[in-house]
Structure 1
Amino acid sequence: MRIKKNIYDMLKEKSNDYWEEDSQYSHWTNYYIPFYKDMLGEVLDLEKDKLTYDNNRVVAKAKKGIDKIEGYTFGGDVIINIKNMPDVYKASFDYDSKYNECNLGIMPKEGNLQGAKKRIGNDWRFDLFLKAINRYYIDGDNTIIEQAKKRNNSDYTRNVLNFFSNKIASIADADWTDVDPKEKIYNFTGSLYGISREMTDRFLECDENISAQDFYILIKDFWNERDINRLQKNKKGV
């Protein structure tokens, strides 16, 4: 039987260029682990020696015994893909690196939410992605499920959305059905992006025809909030 190599063997064997930029080991050790440890440490194996790989991506796995997402793999994800923006929007940004750490998050491979984010907002209109998730939570609108569809993965998508509709801090005794639908999107964005209710509301209230300048301000504030949270976590040694 073929034994899968561990992450350290793969790091020795493969050059840094082999790995997808948003899921390189250095991003995990310098950013993903300290940023997400207090938010997702109860559900993901975020210790350095527990990381593994999926093809050319470094990933973390959901821990055993975690209802709904046991064994799911979480990899890096570019939140706002600047390169996909129309020129009039792209021109407002003072840099074009999409791999700044305040623009990186981790998402489960199962459920294909990354694919839905690309289909709904071409991977840069993050507000449209969050609105689609909120509509699913509030009134059962299946747009996010349909846009995430890849083979027969609808159950995985629902599992991910339902799991992150709950506050992870109370995971041990969570009742997945006993959550106010209006609170679910805040639990989702808090756990997967580490942002406040206020920032989440700004995305949900974003005008579909938002100007390039206003969108620039929104995204810069989003990045600044995540960067402040990162610095606070690093000070605490989380």
Structure 2
Amino acid sequence: MDQNMPMLFSTRSLLRQILQSNILFLFFLAVCCTPPEDPVKCSSPNNTNCTITNSYGAFPDRSICRAGSAAYPATEEELIAVIANATRNGLKMKAATRFSHSIPKLACPGGKEGLLISTKLLNRVLNIDVKAMTMTVESGVTLRELISEAATAGLALSYAPYWWGLTVGGLLGTGAHGSTLWDKGSSVHDYVVGLTIVSPGGAEDGFVKVRRLNDGDQELNAAKVSLGVLGVISQVWIN
């Protein structure tokens, strides 16, 4: 046998290890992910002359959705004030979520007179009741944040979609779900025991209506999966 053979095998082994290490390094680079950009973009500092898209960067018809302005309420009181003012001024409103995962144009208010109401800043966990196994969160809380906070308290969400960037309000409004026939099924909205939804109202109501719905209310099921046409979900109680 050639005396150089062991050296050849050793070199090949070293090259194989280097190649495998580089492939593994490239793999980790490939799977390293960052959140999508804010789907709402406005050309002025006071959030006017805006556009909205989804996390894929384009709606199915490739059109650009424009809106006259965008609002970022940080509390339920601010949300109520925004909707009351917009209703008083006859604006068309649509809710927009933090990452806008909806493929169709559910968030498009349809023109320069429209108003986008983002739930990006409505992102607080308000209460965790370990004994009752319920959580109260604002609608802009992401699925990742919800699961993390639940785990910290020793709780878990029964079933959920696999996109962690979904917000609670967004996944309810579109009927998002996991995959199971166990218990109540895989739809997240089936585990909601109450919510608050803010809608336009008449002059006698101050141009805004705040509905706090609980189990047993006939309107709760409609509010859970409303496709964004019944109002903006403010708070959610999940069991």
* Class of the TM-score when normalised by the shorter of the 2 chains: under 0.3
Which structure shows the higher helix fraction? 1
Which structure shows the higher strand fraction? 2
Q: Which has the higher contact order (CA 8 A, sep 6+)?
A: 1
TM-score calculated relative to the size of structure 1? 0.27
